[in-house]
Structure 1
């Protein structure tokens, strides 16, 4: 599964240096980390939702997620500070490239009515975020025994300075952006 990492080292880095004219190899943008997160609002009433989210995120990422707690109390949502409300995983190195490969080749093609990823989700600093309506697009999740569909956010953190550099790098990895 280190196919994408090898591809980056051999071809993508060369093409990026040629296209953007980097003088040093160290100036070429790299994918630093991938952060997967799930906000579980229903965890306030029933802890089973959070347990299921942790189980699903563990299956998708291959490592145990960190349970995130509410920082402030919000009376309208019956939420108290310190209550568990979501979970997240940060992937780096080999696991990051393995996840990226599975996302591009297995998960994204399973999205219903898929017409390409939005190009409006760049943050202006060379990072990109995607939101999925439910986690069942990943082959590791058994949709028959799924407790409840839950949203999943994926953020790609790069060392690119501009959105154009980030988009070009992710396109070379195989991300299917809208034309």
Structure 2
């Protein structure tokens, strides 16, 4: 899914409507493998400030060649990326689906502390 520029920014050479970003959704094993590689790119450390109150988190990578197994391609150059992860328990779709939406109890929502524990245990990442 391509993301287009909303406005022209002359200093960066970006024109309105020009594709400037790409969005990719990964799930299950592909997401786990990608996260393991990207955590290695940031030295297996995440800030507490990276987590929101619902257990989602984001972090940035300055150069894509820092990801293990990624080769430099001169035609592409070097680019950075933001990695955003949305975590949820089973049954969370009840809140987001189109038909028969329903509220989810506070006990079922994921908190930042629970997300930090999950990331520490599953990916051996240090929360700073």
Task: Calculate the TM-score normalised by the size of structure 2.
Answer: 0.67
Give the 3 Å change call, closer, same or farther, for CA 175–72 of structure 1 in structure 2: farther
Instruction: State the partner residue of 2:96.
Output: none
Residue segments in structure 1 that go unaligned for 5+ positions in a row: 1-65
Aligned-pair distance for 1:116?
2.5
Q: 1:119, 1:177 within 8 Å by CA — same for their partners in 2?
A: no
Within 2, Cα distance between the matches of 1:69 and 1:151? 17
Aligned-pair distance for 1:103?
3.6
- How much is the aligned-residue C-alpha RMSD, in angstroms? 2.5
Q: 2:120, 2:127 within 8 Å by CA — same for their partners in 1?
A: no
5 Å-filtered alignment, 1:3-14, equals none
Instruction: State the partner residue of 1:69.
Output: 4
Aligned residues: 107
Q: From the two aligned structures, give the one with the greater helix fraction.
A: 1
Does residue 170 (structure 1) correspond to residue 119 (structure 2)? The answer is yes
Instruction: State the partner residue of 2:27.
Output: 92
Give the 3 Å change call, closer, same or farther, for CA 115–162 of structure 1 in structure 2: closer
Aligned-pair distance for 1:88?
1.8
Higher relative contact order (CA 8 A, sep 6+): 1
Instruction: State the partner residue of 1:125.
Output: 54
Partner SS, residue 79 of structure 2: coil
Within 2, Cα distance between the matches of 1:169 and 1:178? 11
Instruction: State the partner residue of 1:44.
Output: none
Does residue 102 (structure 1) correspond to residue 51 (structure 2)? The answer is no
Task: Calculate the TM-score normalised by the size of structure 1.
Answer: 0.50
